[in-house]
Amino acid sequence: MGIELLCLCFLFLQRNNYVQGTCSQESTVTCEDCLLSGPQCAWCFQENYTDLTGIHGRCDTPENLLSKGCQLNLIEFPISEVEMHRNKPLTVATQENNFDVTQISPQKLTLKLRPGKSLRHEETIQIKVRQTEDYPVDLYYLMDLSASMDDDLNTIKELGSTLSKEMSKLTSNFRLGFGSFVEKPVSPFIKTTAAEISNPCRSVPYECLPTFGYKHVLPLTNDAEKFNEIVKRQQISANIDTPEGGFDAIMQAAVCKEKIGWRNDSLHLLVFVSDADSHFGMDSKLAGIVIPNDGNCHLDHNNEYSMSTVLEYPTIGQLIEKLVQNNVLLIFAVTNEQVHIYENYAKLIPGATVGRLQKDSGNILQLIIAAYQELRSEVELEVLGETGGLNLSFTAVCNNGTIFPHQRKCSHVKVGDTVSFNVTVSLSSCEKNKRHIVIKPVGLSDTLEMEIYPQCSCNCRAKAEMNSPKCNQGRGSFECGVCVCSPGYVGPRCECDESSLGTSSCKGSAEQSSCSGRGDCYCGQCVCHPSLYGKVYGPRCECDDFSCVRHRGLQCGGNGDCDCGECTCHSGWTGEYCNCTTDTSACVAEDGTLCSGRGECICGSCACTHPGASGQTCEKCPLCSDPCNSRRSCVECHLASDDKSPGECSEKCKLVDATVSTAQDYSEAKSIPCSLQGENECITTFLLAVDEQGRTVIHSIKQKDCPHLPNILMIMVGVTLAILLIGIVLLCIWKLLVSVQDQKEVAKFEAEKSKVKWQTETNPLYRGSTTTFKNVTYKNQEKQKGAMTADFY
């Protein structure tokens, strides 16, 4: 509780300092400048008022000015006020003369507002509204007479009598009127052949009227029989497209006040009956009609809309403007298919209601009575006029005093009951011209007119002394206690001539403001404005001792001095905010090293750089030494978790002070990468990190590069095939070499053969088949000869 009170006191002092600073720090050299500085600022125009702060000391809060010696009657501090001009009491009972009925109070007032959001400069007005009993009602029945509404036309032929009878129970002064519409008589909304123009229903076949935009048939009258007679004479017409020209008809019925017969002091009800949507805005561009709707009455001598083929359909915004301006309450009586469309329209149009119409308008009487009762049970305020820059806040006080903040509508109100609305008005900024706004209940002609005058000028100016001798022999006017110098002269008493001194010496450059915007250039020198926050100084008021950065709420962290926007740190401190100590004693570990060799000493505390290191001096490091191999059993158990129970792996991991995480919540930059080779020669990779509780966490476990067992059969088959292949290759090589050698020998033989030259002689190698030997010892030669021959044969 004590801390909360201390904080509240601190905030109050800060606000008070801010308020005072706002009034005195701006260029408040005149009374008007002071009032525009803020809604809490006041001006002392006491002539002999002296203050060390000079001319700017005249602008301050009223309390401070009084404490400094300024007289109360010499303080200019305009406040907001209300002046009533007409506030007639609300009408309680029915008046014979309706012109005397008053349903809103007050009726006219003037507001003088001081700009700003201060409570003392806003005004709250209570507006009371009472709907008078037996208030006159004007009801204008506007009917769609396209071909699809033929059965509806037959249904309402006696509506005038029955409706007048029912409405007589609610009001003694009731009038009825009638009008009809179809569509703009131009292509592409209708067929433009001569036969179709004269009888647009000929294709049915049926005889009907040519298409028309809007007809005002019967002015408002209390003769119900005349209404019935007029309705019985009506004939339908036709067009091509589904949407009708109903918004053209609504516009004319609302603005043609004299022809319709709307009374000033009556409830204006416009009953719109249709079974189709309506064209609006720029739909008529399809027909080449581009002139915007002007919102004026254009009924000719036959009471027909003469500008149907010239002007565009009205927009929703134009309809809202004219309906509100003429206090017309719109009742949409449409078929079930069109209800959702017209409900969207009704949300935009003040006071509009929507009723579900039966196919033949059989329930039109009940629908009108229900809509009338609904409208009479609601009171809603609307604001007319320019409200930009004007802050309006409504609070409704409805039945039994029930309060509804930020609402301007009361529902379930009985006729004759009084409801009130508290309206708070304030101005955002000062304006030269007055404002005129109107607040009125929706659908009623009673209004509250408000004239709003901004309070931005000082009354003390009325006593100004032109060319006063108090201002250097008439070189200025003495206004509200100060001199307003004539052109060419400056200074508290207009004692300096600008032509001889100039203000260039008070500016750092041509683009900069004089005296940095924090002082006044008097006679070529800057006189710096005083500040509640500190000292403003420098040749051009460019320096101060309070604009340095703050650390923990203290300027320069409380460890330095602010000099011209920069911190000058005391001994033992450094940094932009002087928040960084140069003392390293807190970083020394038990072993005498800085941050245990695992970090850097920054601003008197250790910033651990080694992954997993923590503690005041980085003395804790579960990931130091050999963190990877020591967690082998935990990692291998996790990889083989399918063959082992969860409890077994948990025990192994607990023994090495580690846990396994499958989440991806740990940064790889702050983790140690590990790689281990298992018994199966598989390479396992994982990362080690330290969580917020200082526990070692193993994550991102992956197994890769595992060798496979050799396939003996495939090796044997491969070796056998390799041997066979080598043998075949060797045989092929041998065969190739032999073939090459044979080719060489044949070629050599052929070459030698071609060189031989043969002669005819006996072959020296030849031996004849007969050989004769002569036996020298045998005399008979012939006999010997024969014997030798016989031996050879």
| Choice between 491 and 569, residue whose per-residue pLDDT is larger | 569
pLDDT over threshold 80, residue 245: yes
Residue with tokens 């500085």: 37
Supply the pLDDT for residue 495.
79
475-493: average pLDDT: 84
Range with the largest mean pLDDT of 253-262, 586-595, 637-646: 253-262
- φ, ψ for residue 216, nearest 5 deg: -90, 110
**Would you say residue 756 has pLDDT above 90?**
no
In CATH, 137-376 is 3.40.50.410: yes
Q: Contacts by 203-207 with C-beta closer than 8 Å and gap 24+? A: 204/147, 206/147
Q: If you average pLDDT over residues 206-221, what whole number do you get?
A: 93
Q: How far apart are CA 318 and CA 1, in angstroms?
A: 59
Whether the bond into 492 is cis, omega within 30 of 0:
no
pLDDT at position 93 = 64
Please check the confidence at residue 23 and state whether its pLDDT lies above 50. yes
Q: Is the pLDDT of residue 742 over 50?
A: yes
Query: How sure is the predictor about 16, in pLDDT bands with cuts at 50, 70 and 90?
Result: very low
Residue-level pLDDT at 547: 85
pLDDT bin (cut points 50, 70, 90) of residue 325 is very high
pLDDT at 791: 44
Task: Tell me how far apart the alpha carbons of residues 267 and 123 are, in angstroms, rounded to a whole number.
Answer: 32
**Of 28-37, 627-636, 690-699, 781-790, the least confident:** 781-790
For residue 97, what pLDDT band results from cuts at 50, 70 and 90?
A: low
Peptide bond into 185 cis (omega under 30): no
Judged against a pLDDT cut of 70, whether residue 503 lies above it is answered with: no
Round the average pLDDT of the chain to a whole number and report it: 83
Give the least confident one: 207-216, 513-522, 549-558, 726-735: 513-522
Query: How many other CB atoms sit within 10 Å of the CB of residue 627?
Result: 19
Spell out the SS3 assignment of 174-188. EEEEEEEECCCCCCC
Q: Which one has a higher pLDDT value, 57 or 392?
A: 392
If you average pLDDT over residues 133-155, what whole number do you get? 90
Q: At a CB cut-off of 8 Å and minimum separation 6, what does 38 contact?
A: 19, 22, 23, 116
Q: Are strands 137-144 and 174-181 parallel, antiparallel or unpaired?
A: parallel
Instruction: Give the helix/strand (H/E) hosting 637.
Output: helix 632-639
Cα separation, 370 vs 131, in Å, equals 17
364 vs 619, more confident: 364
- pLDDT confidence tier of residue 2, bands split at 50, 70 and 90: very low
What's the CA gap between 359 and 431, in Å, rounded? 57
Residue of 585 and 658 predicted with greater confidence: 585
Confidence of residue 505 (pLDDT cuts 50, 70, 90): confident
Sole residue written with tokens 């609402």 = 407
Work out the pLDDT band at 297, boundaries 50, 70, 90. very high
Query: Closest Cα to residue 278, out of 299, 256, 251, 304?
Result: 251
pLDDT number for residue 759: 60
Pairing of strands 214-221, 174-181: antiparallel
Identify the pLDDT of residue 69.
85
What's the average model confidence in pLDDT over 352-370? Answer: 90
Picking from 360, 308, 47, 328, the residue whose alpha carbon sits closest to that of residue 181 is: 308
Answer whether 570's CB lies under 8 Å from 578's CB: yes
Mean pLDDT of 533-542: 85
In three-state secondary structure terms, 668 is: helix
Average pLDDT of the segment spanning 218-234: 93
Q: Please state the CATH superfamily assignment of the domain spanning residues 18-78 in this structure.
A: ligand-binding face of the semaphorins, domain 2 (3.30.1680.10)
* pLDDT above 60: residue 4: no
- pLDDT at residue 294 above 90? yes
**One fold for both 18-78 and 550-581?**
no
Q: What is the pLDDT of residues 149-204, one digit of tens each?
A: 888 888 888 888 999 999 988 888 999 999 999 999 999 988 888 888 899 888 77
The per-residue pLDDT for range 606-617, each reduced to its tens digit, is 988 877 777 888
Amino acid at 142: L
Structure tokens at 13: 């002092």
- pLDDT of 789 reads 42
Position 253 scores a pLDDT of: 97
pLDDT of residue 464: 86
Higher pLDDT residue, 775 or 453?
Answer: 453
> Looking at residues 623-629, what average pLDDT do you find?
71
DSSP 3-state assignment of 308?
Answer: coil
Maximum mean pLDDT: which of 31-35, 289-293, 599-603? 289-293
| H helix or E strand, kind and range, residue 373 | helix 364-376
d(CA 160, CA 178): 10
Bridge partners of 353, per DSSP, are: 331
Q: Which of 22-31, 381-390, 441-450, 490-499 has the least mean pLDDT? A: 22-31
Name the helix (H) or strand (E) containing 104.
strand 104-105
739-758 mean pLDDT: 82
Burial class (CB in 10 A: 0-12, 13-18, 19+), 456: middle
393-423 pLDDT tens trace: 999 999 888 999 999 999 999 988 999 999 9
Q: Are 576 and 570 in contact (CB under 8 A)?
A: no
Task: State the pLDDT at residue 18.
Answer: 41
157: left (phi over 0), alpha (psi -120 to 50) or beta: alpha
Q: What is the pLDDT of residue 203?
A: 77
pLDDT of residue 762: 65
Domain chopping of the chain, boundaries: 18-78, 81-132+382-454, 137-376, 550-581, 627-704
pLDDT at residue number 27: 55
CA 605 to centroid of chain Cα atoms: 44
Q: Residue type for 706, please?
A: C
Least confident of 384-393, 423-432, 650-659: 650-659
Mean per-residue pLDDT, 75-87: 89
pLDDT at 132 over 80: yes
Q: Which CATH architecture has domain 627-704?
A: Irregular (4.10)
Determine the pLDDT at residue 755. Answer: 75
Q: Name the band, by pLDDT with cuts 50, 70 and 90, for residue 636.
A: confident
For 550-581, CATH gives 2.10.25.10
Q: What is the pLDDT of residue 301?
A: 94
Instruction: Give the mean model confidence (pLDDT) for residues 491-514.
Output: 74
The answer, yes or no, to whether residue 1 has pLDDT greater than 50, is no
pLDDT value for 450: 94
pLDDT at residue 148, rounded to an integer? 87
Q: Is 686 exposed, middle or buried (0-12, 13-18, 19+ CB in 10 A)?
A: buried
Q: Which two tokens stand for residue 250?
A: 């609504």
- Report the relative pairing of strands 267-274 and 137-144 from DSSP bridges: parallel
pLDDT at 676 > cutoff 90: no
Q: Report the pLDDT averaged over residues 695-704.
A: 76
Share of the chain above pLDDT 90, in %: 33
Which burial class, exposed, middle or buried, applies to 310 when counting CB atoms under 10 A from its CB (0-12, 13-18, 19+)? middle
Q: Which fold has domain 81-132+382-454?
A: Immunoglobulin-like (2.60.40)
Q: Which of 273-277, 476-480, 771-775 has the lowest mean pLDDT?
A: 771-775
Note the pLDDT of residue 509.
76
Q: Which of 620, 684, 607, 694 is nearest to 659 (CA)?
A: 694
Rounded Cα gap, residues 477 and 470, in angstroms: 8
Strand, coil or helix: what is 445? coil
Q: Is the pLDDT of residue 631 over 90?
A: no
- Please, which pLDDT band fits residue 221 given cuts at 50, 70 and 90? very high
Q: What pLDDT is stored for residue 91 in this prediction?
A: 84
Tokens 């008589």 sit at which residue?
Answer: 185
- For residue 785, pLDDT over 90 is answered with no
- Residue 638 reports pLDDT greater than 60: yes
User: Taking the complete model, does pTM exceed 0.75, yes or no?
Assistant: no
Q: Which of the residue ranges 70-79, 182-191, 262-271, 665-674 would you say has the lowest mean pLDDT?
A: 665-674
